[in-house]
Amino acid sequence: MKKEPFVTYEQLKEITKKYPTPFHLYDEKGIRDNVKALKDAFSWNKGFKEYFAVKATPNPFLINILKEYGCGCDCSSLTELMLANALDFAGNDIMFSSNATPANEFKYADEIGAIINLDDFTHIDFLEKTIGRIPETISCRYNPGGLFKISNSIMDNPGDAKYGFTTEQLFEGFRVLKEKGAKNFGIHAFLASNTVTNEYYPTLAKTLFETAVKLKEETGADIKFINLSGGIGIPYKPDEEPNDIKVIGEGVRKVYEEVLVPAGMGDVALYTELGRFMMGPYGCLVTTAIHQKHTHKEYIGCDACAVNLMRPAMYGAYHHITVMGKDNEILTNTYDITGSLCENNDKFAVDRRLPKIDIGDLLVIHDTGAHGFAMGYNYNGKLKSAEILLKEDGSTQLIRRPETPEDYFATFDCFDILDKMKF
């Protein structure tokens, strides 16, 4: 089976005349259509809001597209908070979900009015000492522990995750926060990653809704919102069935009406913090085949490497590859598709059946729109690539320039050790 790139071979040949590979390319139309579908799927909930997971794709041009549709920002660090603030997101449009959080990050989140989502019971006192009070609106991240199952399938193991309050800590935390002045409460949980099933959100929602009802009954807390976080995945492999966001939204609605409405909580707002689902399929890494190697295996060396896309090296993650202009040819060859890092795991694909690849062929590595560029690094002195937006009208826009050697060496600018270096 194959995946169809959102860019044609003819388009890509023109794009590469202006922008040398490697680069990440994003599909504006796909992003817009997807966010509209998400909003429609949850339109039954008056307070629904998507807080885009900035960590997935921290590019202001792309975040501004989502902002047009009323999305907020889910931030996990100081610089992500700074980015959201610079893009003029209002305080309540920013959710700060962090862990092992430095004091200065809590201070900045409070200064810009972000909703703070606490990750641990001990953070209650830490936050109070840091900013001098407990905010009137506060959220807590819940981790029930054990295994998270859907039917008989184990989706993930929250018990091994470093995130969140235990059940006992959550109830005690709400009591303490209420005593310290909190008036508006939220609950947050992330119990499984990259799920390709329409059952995940409704199952998670049931857990959170039932917990919210008990919290209200036992602590008297006024629960204003329930944050389902992320976890809705995408089909990286071509034979996987994609999630149906309309079905997911309807599944959550049924649980909402079964659990929250009878408990007098029919006005609770629902939030999501999707990253991969929002951007993943609408980005690709474009690279050129620059070497062939015939040794114990057949290798194709590209001008991109794990610096541009870390997931295959880090997780062994699958990303589909299209050899542009040859997508209808028979898969006659078996290749390892590699980069040039001095690490043997620097491979985009291992033993992948593909059509014959020639030097100069353009390869599209699919589904890199989230956790692609964002996970880049500079090992071996490699430089991060450009990011380019393929606009709805077919034109392109540079939305991040490629790094230069000057960027790489910039943090030595307070010393004279590199004075002899000429750029």
pLDDT of 155 strictly over 60: no
Give CA–CA dist 270/73, Å, rounded.
15
Confidence of residue 416 (pLDDT cuts 50, 70, 90): confident
Q: What is the three-state SS of 345-391?
A: CCEEEEEEEECCCCCCCEEEECCCCCCCHHHCCCHHHCCCCEEEEEC
* Each residue's pLDDT tens digit, 281-298: 999 999 999 999 999 999
Confidence of residue 151 (pLDDT cuts 50, 70, 90): low
Q: Judging by beta carbons within 10 Å of its beta carbon (0-12, 13-18, 19+), is residue 337 exposed, middle or buried?
A: buried
Indicate the range of 52-66, 126-140, 380-394, 402-416 predicted with least confidence: 402-416
Closest residue by Cα to residue 361 from 285, 306, 290, 284: 290
Residues of the chain with CATH 3.20.20.10: 28-280
Phi, psi of 300 (to 5 degrees): -115, 120
Stated pTM of the model? 0.95
Give CA–CA dist 339/291, Å, rounded.
10
Confidence of residue 162 (pLDDT cuts 50, 70, 90): confident
Scan for tokens 């320039």, then name that residue: 401
Which residue among 75, 302, 305, 342 is the active-site one?
342
- Mark whether 71 is an active-site residue: no
H or E element that contains 239:
none
CATH 3.20.20.10 fits 28-280, yes or no: yes
Please say whether the beta carbons of 283 and 234 come within 8 A: no
Q: What is the three-state SS of 323-334?
A: ECCCCCCCCCEE
Q: Work out whether the CA dihedral 8, 13, 18, 23 comes out positive or negative.
A: positive
What average pLDDT does the segment 305-333 reach? Answer: 95
Residues of the chain with CATH 2.40.37.10: 281-412
Residue range 281-412 forms a domain whose CATH class is: mainly beta
* Each residue's pLDDT tens digit, 75-115: 999 999 999 999 999 889 999 999 999 999 999 999 999 99
The alpha-carbon radius of gyration of the chain (Å, integer) is 23
pLDDT of residue 153: 59
Closest residue by Cα to residue 344 from 385, 324, 316: 316
List the structure tokens of 212. Answer: 């919210």
